[in-house]
Amino acid sequence: MPGLTYFFIRKILARFTTFFVILTLTFIIPRLLPGGAFAYLIANPSVPPDLRQVYIKEFGLDKPIWEQYVIFLRQFFTTGNIGLSFSRLEPVSKVIMDALPWTISLVTTSLIVSAVVGILTGMFAAYRRGGGFDTASMGIFMFIRSMPGFWLGMVLLIIFGYYLGWAPLFGAYTYGVVYSSPILKFLDILKHMWLPMLTLIILTIPGYHVLMRNSIIGLMGEDFVTVARAKGFSDRDLLIKHVFRPASLPILTSLAIDIGFSVSGVMLIENVFSIPGVGRLAYQAVYQQDYPLLLGIVIYTSALTLILVTIVEVMYSLIDPRVKLE
């Protein structure tokens, strides 16, 4: 337990240092842009003078750069906010938190299902290496992997939404409807969300399949597997009892990184299906030059990714005894 505590504290300090660097870069980069990130607001003649003064005061643009940096850090660590959204005139943290549940539900559900399916198909492909299933699955998954996400989403939307009518054409829920019970609300959201979830599942299964297959094939040549085979274990028992746990470590790492990245990386999927999540929010922030909102998304998704990766690193030692807490 002391070793685990020391390992955990050391990882937290390392991740906090990384996060502090990210915070610093998000403060500096907009101010290094030609004219500054706020120039089109401050120097834009169409912006009313009163609103211009509000922006200058809100972002501390009338203060020295070092003082702006201190205010930026103090504001984030005390309130979790980094300023006001240009386009929505609301705190950035509030705007992100309103959109985050939609993306989290879409991403986590899809990636967990993808990981489970990819693990099972990857195990069977490795067990039947070189067989018909292995060859066919690799060909199919490589074809899927080459598909652009937005193209696949549009194809599924046309088929299941337009022609078959099995899914709504846009949105995460029916606008203007008052639900009489939470169950009806859940069913309406599920009706809107199942198709974008299916799209993301189809796109992400190949990565987990190939990763699991190759991990198992690589481990089957290790010394501990050779010893277990010499003791009379069948290939099936070797796969389930000896190889599965260490082979799942890369899957955990990939899953943690994918969840953190996909929070803002599902931009195209959310735009195709008009899901009001963080990905669509990031697209709108770029289009509207809403730098505080865009940088807030970077900060929050970076924090989520760092937290997930740290948790996975601690779980490594619990899953595979060969991994030491160093």
Top pLDDT among 100 and 40 is at 100
pLDDT at 261: 66
pLDDT at 321: 56
Interatomic CA distance for residues 104 and 127, integer angstroms: 34
pLDDT at 41: 63
Distances from the Cα of 193 to the Cα of 45, 161, 180, angstroms:
43, 12, 20
Q: Residue 84 — φ and ψ, nearest 5°? A: -105, 135
Distances from the Cα of 69 to the Cα of 24, 160, 286, 322, angstroms:
8, 50, 23, 44
Most confident of 5-9, 50-54, 70-74, 209-213: 209-213
What end-to-end distance do the CA atoms of the chain give, in Å?
Answer: 13
- Sign of the torsion formed by the C-alpha atoms of 295, 296, 298 and 303: positive
Residue 9: CA count within 13 A, CB half-sphere: 6
- Percent of the chain whose pLDDT exceeds 90: 4
pLDDT at 265: 62
* pLDDT tens digits, 180-222: 788 888 888 888 889 999 998 998 898 888 888 888 887 776 7
pLDDT at 188: 84
pLDDT at 320: 59
- Of 42-46, 137-141, 151-155, 266-270, minimum mean pLDDT range: 42-46
Q: Is the pLDDT of residue 61 over 80?
A: no
**Sorting pLDDT into bands at 50, 70 and 90, what band is 90?**
confident
Interatomic CA distance for residues 102 and 296, integer angstroms: 17
- Exposed/middle/buried for residue 144 (C-beta within 10 Å: 0-12, 13-18, 19+): middle
pLDDT at 319: 62
Query: With contact defined as beta carbons under 8 Å apart, do 204 and 258 qualify?
Result: yes
**Sorting pLDDT into bands at 50, 70 and 90, what band is 4?**
low
pLDDT at 38: 65
Distance of CA 126 to the CA centre of its chain: 28
**Sorting pLDDT into bands at 50, 70 and 90, what band is 100?**
confident
The CATH architecture annotation of domain 98-319 reads Orthogonal Bundle (1.10)
Q: Is the pLDDT of residue 232 over 80?
A: no
Q: What is the mean pLDDT of residues 126-142?
A: 85
pLDDT at 301: 83
Reduced 3-state DSSP string for 222-252: CHHHHHHHHCCCCHHHHHHHHHHHHHCHHHH
> Domain limits of the chain?
2-79, 98-319
**Sorting pLDDT into bands at 50, 70 and 90, what band is 127?**
confident
With tokens 């299933």, the residue in question is 133
* pLDDT tens digits, 14-45: 888 888 888 888 888 777 766 555 666 666 66
pLDDT at 89: 76
The partner residues of 91 in beta bridges, in order of sequence, read: 84
For 154, the token pair is 């549009």
**Sorting pLDDT into bands at 50, 70 and 90, what band is 306?**
confident
Total residues belonging to the chain: 326
Q: Residue 76 — φ and ψ, nearest 5°? A: -70, -45
**Sorting pLDDT into bands at 50, 70 and 90, what band is 99?**
confident
Top pLDDT among 187 and 54 is at 187
Q: What is the mean pLDDT of the chain?
A: 79
Query: Among 252, 268, 277, 250, which residue's Cα sits nearest to residue 200?
Result: 268
